[in-house]
Amino acid sequence: MEKETFEKVRQWIQAHKEDMIADLQSFARIRSVSRADLGVPGAPFGQECRTILDFALNRAREMGYAVEDHEGYCGSAILGDGENAIGVAAHLDVVPEGDKWVFPPYGATRQGDFLIGRGVSDNKASAILGLYVMQMLREWGYPKKHGFRLLMGCSEETGMEDFRYFREHYTCPKFSLVADASFPVNYAQKGSMGGWMDMDAGDQILSFTGGEVPNMVPPHAKAVLALADGQVFRDTLERGFPDVKERFTIESENGQTTITVQGKAAHAAGPEAGLSAIHLLAALLTRSQALSGQSAKAAKAIADMTSNYYGENAGIACEDPDTGKTTMVCGVIRQEGRKLSLSLDCRLSLAAKADETVKAMEAYADSLGFTPVGIHAGAPVYIPKDDPKVLALQELYRGITGDDREPYTMGGGTYSRVLPNAVTYGPGMPTMRERPDFIPEDHGGAHSPDEYLYIPAWLEGCAVYACALMELDDLVD
Interval 21-30: pLDDT, tens = 999 999 999 9
Q: pLDDT at position 84, please?
A: 95
pLDDT of residue 359: 97
What pLDDT is recorded for position 413? 86
**CA gap 406, 34 in Å, rounded:** 34
Query: Does residue 386 carry a pLDDT above 90?
Result: no
**3-190+381-475: which CATH number, 3.90.1150.10, 3.40.630.10, 3.10.180.10, 1.10.510.10?**
3.40.630.10
Q: Which pLDDT belongs to residue 300?
A: 98
Which architecture, in CATH terms, is 191-378? 2-Layer Sandwich (3.30)
Which pTM does this prediction carry?
A: 0.81
Q: What's the confidence (pLDDT) of residue 37?
A: 94
Average pLDDT on 93-105 reads 94
- Residue 425 · residue 412 · CB < 8 Å: no
Q: What is the pLDDT of residues 276-327, one digit of tens each?
A: 999 999 999 999 999 999 999 999 999 999 999 999 999 999 999 889 999 9
Give the residue from 465, 390, 455 showing the smallest Cα distance to 1.
465
Predicted local distance difference test score (pLDDT) of residue 143 = 84
> Per-residue pLDDT averaged across 444-459, rounded?
95
Q: What is the pLDDT of residue 453?
A: 98
Give percent above pLDDT 70 in the chain: 100
Kindly report the three-state secondary structure assignment for every residue of 426-463: CEECCCCCCCCCCCCCCCCCCCCCCCEEEHHHHHHHHH
| Mean pLDDT value of segment 264-268 | 89
Start-end of CATH 3.30.70.360 domains in the chain: 191-378
Task: State the number of CA atoms in the 13 A half-sphere of 133 facing the CB.
Answer: 30
**What is the overall mean pLDDT for the chain?**
95
For CATH 3.40.630.10, the residue range(s) in the chain are: 3-190+381-475
pLDDT above 70: residue 353: yes
Query: Which of 329, 377, 330 has the alpha carbon at shortest distance from 353?
Result: 377
Q: pLDDT-derived band of residue 1, with 50, 70 and 90 as boundaries?
A: low
- The full 3-state SS of the chain, as one line of letters, equals CCHHHHHHHHHHHHHCHHHHHHHHHHHHCCCCECCHHHCECCECCCHHHHHHHHHHHHHHHHCCCEEEEECCCEEEEEECCCCCEEEEEEECCECCCCCCCCCCCCCCEEECCEEECCCCCCCHHHHHHHHHHHHHHHHCCCCCCCEEEEEEECCHHHCCHHHHHHHHHCCCCCEEEECCEECCEEEEECEEEEEEEEEECCCCEEEEEECCCCCECCCEEEEEECCCCCHHHHHHHHHHCCCCHHHEEEEEECCEEEEEEECECCECCCHHHCECHHHHHHHHHHHHCCCCHHHHHHHHHHHHHCCCCCCCCCCCCCEECCCEECEEECCCEEEECCEEEEEEEEEECCCCCHHHHHHHHHHHHHHHCCEEEEEEEECCEECCCCCHHHHHHHHHHHHHHCCCCCCEEECCCCHHHCCCCEEEECEECCCCCCCCCCCCCCCCCCCCCCCEEEHHHHHHHHHHHHHHHHHHHHHCC
Q: What is the pLDDT of residue 342?
A: 98
Q: Report how far apart the first and last C-alpha atoms of the chain are (Å, whole number).
A: 19
**Other C-beta atoms within 10 Å of 309: how many?**
23
pLDDT in tens, 219-248: 999 999 999 999 999 999 999 898 999 999
Q: For 452-465, what is the mean pLDDT? A: 97
> 126, 181 in Cβ contact below 8 A?
no
- Residue range 142-170: mean pLDDT, rounded: 95
